[in-house]
């Protein structure tokens, strides 16, 4: 009698371990470490921005300086001369002279030349003594304040034209250095009287010294009918590029 063997039970496959390893959550960065990282990033952005500004400013400055040198070499009288302490002294026409701010000797010289009126374009703070100097020399004084690096309004140009027409003698117009604001007003005068077009007026302005970007734009965009101030974007760009010069002038 044969005995039958029991069927073999299939082996149960091994089940891999499902053990979950719990790790502690990463700690948030310490406030001091986070502050240091932010400070480093901020410093990096500031340094790169300063370098970018310096490069753009240098190109703009050298470009304006080169144009000034060219215009001065190709314009009669160049950048003008120094007369009784007045720098960049030039004759615009038989009715108008231009230059830098006079001192006592300068006002006396203007009176001796037969100048009847002084037009002061400075917007800076001035003492009562400074304001009284032209009249003490026997000259009429008209003030049309324009901020450094900026341009005259249409109303100021109209007032300047009326002043020239009403003056008993020639008019002397000046700002501080006798470059930018004086150049803008002189250029507007030449264009409005038909003595020069915008290109020639710009060359005359650049010949005396490097003005601001908005002052160059102002002259180039003017004509015999009107002289409008530059668009706000031109003014912003100009004042950003002109900031170092204006800061230096303020500290002097």
Per-domain residue ranges of the chain: 58-251
Question: Residue 16: what pLDDT?
Answer: 57
Strand partners, 99: 174
Percent of the chain as helix, strand, coil, to the nearest 5? 50, 10, 40
Laid out side by side, the sheet with 171-174 consists of 81-83, 86-91, 96-99, 171-174, 117-122, 140-146
Q: In this structure, are strands 117-122 and 96-99 parallel, antiparallel, or unpaired?
A: unpaired
- From first to last of the 252 residues of the chain, give the pLDDT tens digit: 455 555 555 555 555 556 666 666 666 666 777 778 887 888 878 887 777 877 877 777 777 888 888 988 888 889 999 999 999 999 999 999 999 999 999 999 999 999 999 999 999 999 999 999 999 999 999 999 999 999 999 999 999 999 999 999 999 999 999 999 999 999 999 999 999 999 999 999 999 999 999 999 999 999 888 889 999 999 999 999 888 877 766 655
DSSP 194: T
Model pLDDT, residue 204: 95
**Distances from the Cα of 110 to the Cαs of 62, 113, 114, 139, 142, in angstroms?**
35, 5, 7, 8, 15
Strand partners, 83: 86
At 207 the pLDDT is 96
Separation CA 164–CA 8 (nearest Å):
125
pLDDT of amino acid 1: 47
Predicted confidence at residue 19, as pLDDT, reads 62
Lookup: tokens for 32: 């001091």
The residues pairing with 91 across neighbouring beta strands, listed in sequence order, are 97
CA proximity to 177, closest of 80, 37, 65 = 80
Distances (CA, A) of 50 to 59, 153, 235, 239, 246: 14, 33, 20, 16, 18
Answering whether pTM is above 0.95, one says: no
| 219: Cβ contacts below 8 Å, ≥ 6 apart | 183, 184, 187, 188, 191, 198, 201, 202, 205
User: How many CA atoms within 13 Å lie on the side-chain side of 171?
Assistant: 25
DSSP-derived secondary structure letter, 176: S
CATH class, domain 58-251, is alpha beta
């Amino acid at each position: 009698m044969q005995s039958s063997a029991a069927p073999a039970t299939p082996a149960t496959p091994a089940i891999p371990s499902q053990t979950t390893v719990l790790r502690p959550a990463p700690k948030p960065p310490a406030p001091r470490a986070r502050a240091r990282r932010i400070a480093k990033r901020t410093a990096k952005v500031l340094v790169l921005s300063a370098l970018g500004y310096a490069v753009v400013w240098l190109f703009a400055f050298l470009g304006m300086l080169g144009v000034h040198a060219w215009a001065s070499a190709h314009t009669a009288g160049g950048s003008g001369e120094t007369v009784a302490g007045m720098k960049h002294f030039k004759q615009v026409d038989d009715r108008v002279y231009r230059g830098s701010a006079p001192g006592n000797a300068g006002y006396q010289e203007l009176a001796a030349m037969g100048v009847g009126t002084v037009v002061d374009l400075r917007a800076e703070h001035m003492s009562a003594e400074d304001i009284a100097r032209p009249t003490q020399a026997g000259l009429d004084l008209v003030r049309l304040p324009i901020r450094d690096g900026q341009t005259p309004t249409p109303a100021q140009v109209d007032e300047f034209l009326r002043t020239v027409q009403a003056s008993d003698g020639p008019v002397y117009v000046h700002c501080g250095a006798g470059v930018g604001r004086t150049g803008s007003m002189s250029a507007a005068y030449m264009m409005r009287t038909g003595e020069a077009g915008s290109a020639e007026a710009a060359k005359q302005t650049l010949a005396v010294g490097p003005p601001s970007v908005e002052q160059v734009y102002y002259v180039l965009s003017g004509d015999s009918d009107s002289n409008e101030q530059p668009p706000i974007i031109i003014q912003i760009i100009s004042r950003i590029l002109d900031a170092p010069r204006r800061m230096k002038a303020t500290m002097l």
